[in-house]
Structure formats: structure tokens, C-alpha cells
């Protein structure tokens, strides 16, 4: 990592302030070559972590008046010497400063380069590095809370503690293998068994947080389903407060699924508007219906929309049974309530207390529906508020593999397999935990992870 790199760290476009970040051994030297301070005497000391006012110049031409700050290694984000140039936020200004940096043997940083350097320099482990992009992309309060918890190292601390315990078990087994004639009494067989069972139980607890952690990070997969022409697309539009889906009185207008994210504060809904589920001979509509069924199967929450004016028919009952059979949490949404009067309000409406009557056309009852959704998907008081919550599929899959290796250990022990076989099982479990933290992890995995990042981070 001898190369000094730079990138615009703020979002592209016009803004009041733009920040350009430089990291590497030559960061300060490059700044000295381009920066002309207002207070020359103060700049002579070049104290780190202090702001200096001056101009970035190209020979005799002033490019912009800026504030600059120098952060000395290893007390910086990347663990290297870091310089930040706080310029005006115009795109042209920032591009010209970047061109000057590139002309001084600074390379353009690819996405995620600064966080990757922080990881490689030991400032962050891989879980913490991944949490940085989760903070940037968080679209609800709970997702942000979980990402901040991981950045502070709480999940890493738990995994590291389990790794240390596995390492002690491996040391015991390998000592017994290397010195078979000596009496190795650091741990009894029963102590080993209890330790493995306890580690396996803690892995299982972590694995059990993933479903809610995924919903917190990525949003709750919410499928709007119903037969054709009951107002599913109208409901999506009114929830989003925009005309996202085409709405007509012709049944079967929606031929494909439409996905949008709705932020409800603490949680987010990843809403999928589906084609009306019915039997059809139309080839295109049939594909849309199949996608709707798939969205239903993959959902965390179902909004089952029915026409309150025309009432429940066999199609509605069939859909309701499908939802119940799949065991999905659902809310019955009775649409077109604006067509009801006291005289024609059906008796069965009073017999469905969990249903919410709305009018997507008149935009009424929507607040009650949102409240019902919040209550239905509330994660308060659950595992989600633990310090250690698994939110990423990569972590989940490696934890599952580690747990499986411990199960293999237990089965091998029961079958009285040789001790070297038992040691291999424990080592495999440890390797999976180390991979979560970024120890002994393949380079291509690093590349895949850091490609998620934006420029300047």
C-alpha cells in the first residue's frame, strides 16, 4: 500500500462543501505542494488534527479557497497519513483539485479503498468494515442502530471470544496428540463436551438473530397480494405518495412485480406490488401470477387486499388459506371502504377485528393501516435489541458452517473417532469464525465486499 490515493468523499453534484480525502505516505507532501496558507507562521508547525485556511493553487492560479486538515498515522481512519481538503462543493472545483492531485503522483482511489486500508492496517476488522457501508445505506432507525453496534465491535467481540475458546480446545487436543505418553489433565473429556455444547449453543443464538437482523438491515419483505382489480396498485401508490404503479379498472393491468422501499421510521418495508393471482390463459399474465406466488412465498409480511364492497368470494378464501398455510404474518386490507354506507355495511366486516378498512382512492384509513403494520412487524423487545445481531448473509452462512462442524465433532466423538479427527472438526469451526472477522480470508472475498462501497469511503 505504498501508493498514495485520493477521492472525492462527498456525493457528486453541487453543494456548499465538498471533501477530498487523500491517504498514504505522500499525503502531507502533496498538500504542501498545492496549499498556500493564510497564516504562514501557524502553517509552519503543521499540527495534525487542526484546520488551516488557505488556497489550493495551480502554479500562480488560485483554484479554490479551502480548509485543510492533516491526520497523522496511525491515528486516522485508514491508519495512514490522511489529508482532507474541504473545498466548495461545485463539481468543477472538485474535479480540478483532483486533477492537480493526480498530476502529483497520487492515484485515484477505487470504491471502498479507504475502508479497505483501514482493515488491512488493523484499524477495523472485516465485520466493522462491512458495518461502515451498512451505516451509509441504513434507511431505518433499527438498521442504523445495528450497524453502529457492529462498528463499535460488539458482534466482533462475541465472535472473537468464541474463537478463543475453540483455540483452547484445539490446543488441548493437539497437546494430547503430540505428547500421548504424558498426562494431559488441563481439561477432562466431560469439560471438553460441556465447552463444545456451550459454544454450539451460543452459535445457535447468534444464528437465531439473523432473520430479524436481515429485516432490520434490508427491510421487511412485504407482499401486496389479492385477486385482480381489488386495488393493490392503488394501495402501493397511496403508501408511497406517488403514482408508481399503473391503475385502471381493467383486471390484470399489473403484469409484473414492482418493488419499492417505504421507510416507517424504526423499520422499512420492502414492498412488492404483485399481479392479481388468478387462473388465466394469458401467457404474459400467467408469468406475472407466478412471480406473485413467488413474492408471497419469500415475504416476511403479507398485505392481503380484498374488495370490501363486493365482499369475500372463493378466490379471496383460497388466497387467505394459502397465506395461512405458509404461516406468513398478514393483515387483511379491506379496500374501497368509500363505497360503503351504514345501510350496506356487511355484517362480516364486524367479525374481522384484525382487518383494516381503507379507501386507496380517497386516501382514508391509511394511517390505521400503517399503525397496524408497525404493530405487526415491531421488533421491540426481541433479539433485535441485543448487542450482537447478525445482519449479513455472509456472517450467517459462516456461523451455520461453524455450528455444523461442531455437530460433526459431537458425532465423531460419539463414534469414538481418533483425536486427530476431532481436532480437524474444531479447526474447521475456528476457520469459519476467523473468516467472519477477516482472518485468513481469500483476497477475492475482500474485493467483493469492498466493491459495495461508494467512492471516497
The pLDDT score that the predictor gives to residue 282 is 55
Determine the Cα–Cα distance for residues 330 and 324; give it in Å rounded to an integer. Answer: 8
Higher pLDDT, 241 or 70: 70
In whole angstroms, what is the distance from residue 160 CA to residue 434 CA? Answer: 8
pLDDT digits (tens, 9 = 90+) for 60-113: 899 999 999 999 999 999 999 999 999 999 999 999 999 999 999 999 999 999
Beta bridge partners of 85: 20, 68
Report the alpha-carbon distance of residue 404 to residue 7 in Å, rounded.
43
Residue 268: what pLDDT? Answer: 85
Say yes or no to pLDDT of 248 above 60.
Answer: no
Is the pLDDT assigned to residue 379 strictly greater than 90? no
Do 224 and 296 meet the contact criterion of CB atoms below 8 Å apart? no
Write phi, then psi, for 193 (nearest 5 degrees): -60, -45
Distances (CA, A) of 405 to 90, 432, 433: 55, 9, 11
Long-range contacts made by residues 410-418, C-beta under 8 angstroms, separation at least 24? 410/193, 410/196, 410/197, 410/200, 413/193
- The residue extents of the domains of the chain are 5-124, 129-209+388-437, 216-377
Q: Which of 34-38, 324-328, 437-441 has the lowest mean pLDDT?
A: 437-441
Mean local confidence (pLDDT), 359-388: 73
Q: What is the mean pLDDT of residues 141-156?
A: 90
pLDDT at 249: 45
Q: Which of 430, 433, 425 is nearest to 407 (CA)?
A: 425
Looking at residue 252, its pLDDT comes to 45
Return the CATH number of the domain spanning residue range 129-209+388-437. Answer: 1.20.120.430
pLDDT above 70: percentage of residues in the chain? 84
Whether the per-residue pLDDT at 450 is higher than 90: the answer is no
Q: How confident is the model at residue 48 (pLDDT cuts 50, 70, 90)?
A: very high
Fold equal for 129-209+388-437 and 216-377: no
The pLDDT of residue 42 is: 94
For position 186, what pLDDT does the model report? 61
Give the rounded percent of residues in the chain with a pLDDT score beyond 90.
42
Which range, 49-58, 171-180, 187-196, has the best average confidence (pLDDT)? 49-58
* Residue 324 pLDDT exceeds 50: yes
CATH for the stretch 5-124: 3.30.1360.120
The pLDDT confidence band at residue 283, using thresholds 50, 70 and 90, is: low
Q: What is the pLDDT, as a whole number, of residue 260?
A: 83
**DSSP 8-state assignment for residue 347:** G
The radius of gyration of the chain from alpha carbons, rounded to an integer in Å, stands at 29
Better-predicted residue by pLDDT, 347 or 266:
266
pLDDT of residue 110: 92
Q: How confident is the model at residue 125 (pLDDT cuts 50, 70, 90)?
A: very high
Tell me the per-residue pLDDT of 150-164, one tens digit each, with 9 for 90 and over.
999 999 999 999 999
Three-class HEC string of 400-442: HHHHHHHHHHHHHHHCCCCHHHHHHHHHHHHHHHHHHHCCCCC
Give tens-digit pLDDT for 396-449: 999 999 999 999 999 998 888 887 788 899 999 999 999 999 887 666 666 777
Whether residue 333 contacts residue 344, with contact meaning beta carbons closer than 8 Å, is answered with: no
CATH 1.10.150.20 fits 216-377, yes or no: no
Q: Which residues contact 393 (CB under 8 A, 6 or more apart)?
A: 214
- The per-residue pLDDT for 329 is 87
Amino acid at each position: 500500500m505504498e501508493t498514495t490515493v485520493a477521492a472525492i468523499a462527498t456525493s457528486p453534484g453541487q453543494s456548499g462543501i465538498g471533501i477530498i480525502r487523500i491517504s498514504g505516505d505522500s499525503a502531507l507532501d502533496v498538500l504542501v505542494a498545492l496549499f498556500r496558507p493564510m497564516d504562514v507562521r501557524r502553517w509552519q508547525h503543521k499540527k495534525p488534527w487542526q484546520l488551516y485556511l488557505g488556497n489550493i493553487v495551480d502554479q500562480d492560479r488560485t483554484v479554490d479557497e479551502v480548509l485543510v486538515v492533516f491526520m497523522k498515522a496511525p491515528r486516522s481512519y485508514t491508519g495512514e497519513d490522511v489529508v482532507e481538503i474541504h473545498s466548495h462543493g461545485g463539481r468543477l472545483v472538485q474535479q480540478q483539485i483532483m486533477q492537480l492531485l493526480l498530476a502529483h503522483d497520487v492515484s485515484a482511489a477505487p470504491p471502498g479503498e479507504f475502508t479497505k486500508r483501514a482493515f488491512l492496517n488493523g484499524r477495523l476488522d472485516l465485520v466493522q468494515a462491512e458495518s461502515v457501508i451498512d451505516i451509509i445505506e441504513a434507511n431505518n432507525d433499527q438498521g442504523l442502530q445495528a450497524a453502529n453496534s457492529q462498528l463499535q465491535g460488539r458482534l466482533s467481540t462475541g465472535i472473537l471470544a468464541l474463537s478463543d475458546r475453540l483455540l483452547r480446545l484445539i490446543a488441548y487436543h493437539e497437546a494430547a496428540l503430540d505428547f500421548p505418553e504424558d498426562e494431559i489433565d488441563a481439561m477432562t473429556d466431560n469439560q471438553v463436551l460441556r465447552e463444545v455444547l456451550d459454544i454450539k449453543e451460543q452459535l445457535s443464538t447468534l444464528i437465531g438473530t439473523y432473520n430479524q437482523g436481515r429485516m432490520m438491515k434490508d427491510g421487511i419483505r412485504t407482499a401486496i397480494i389479492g385477486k385482480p382489480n381489488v386495488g393493490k396498485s392503488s394501495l402501493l401508490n397511496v403508501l408511497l405518495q406517488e403514482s408508481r404503479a399503473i391503475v385502471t379498472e381493467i383486471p390484470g393491468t399489473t403484469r409484473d412485480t414492482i418493488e419499492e422501499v417505504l421507510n416507517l421510521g424504526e423499520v422499512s418495508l420492502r414492498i412488492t406490488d404483485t399481479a392479481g393471482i388468478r387462473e388465466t390463459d394469458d401467457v404474459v399474465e400467467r408469468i406475472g401470477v407466478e412471480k406473485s406466488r413467488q413474492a408471497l412465498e419469500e415475504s416476511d409480511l403479507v398485505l392481503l387486499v380484498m374488495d370490501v364492497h363486493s365482499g369475500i368470494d372463493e378466490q379471496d378464501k383460497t388466497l387467505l388459506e394459502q397465506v395461512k398455510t405458509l404461516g406468513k404474518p398478514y393483515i387483511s386490507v379491506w379496500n374501497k371502504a368509500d363505497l360503503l354506507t351504514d345501510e350496506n355495511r356487511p355484517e362480516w366486516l364486524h367479525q374481522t377485528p384484525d382487518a383494516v378498512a381503507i379507501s386507496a382512492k380517497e386516501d382514508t384509513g391509511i394511517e390505521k393501516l400503517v399503525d397496524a403494520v408497525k404493530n405487526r412487524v415491531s421488533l421491540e423487545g426481541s433479539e433485535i435489541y441485543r448487542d450482537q445481531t447478525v445482519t449479513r448473509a455472509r456472517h450467517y452462512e459462516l456461523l451455520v458452517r461453524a455450528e455444523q462442524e461442531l455437530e460433526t465433532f459431537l458425532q465423531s466423538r460419539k463414534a469414538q473417532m481418533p483425536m486427530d479427527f476431532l481436532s480437524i472438526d474444531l479447526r474447521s469451526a475456528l476457520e469459519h469464525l476467523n473468516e467472519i472477522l477477516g482472518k485468513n480470508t481469500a483476497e477475492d472475498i475482500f474485493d467483493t465486499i469492498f466493491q459495495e462501497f461508494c467512492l471516497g469511503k
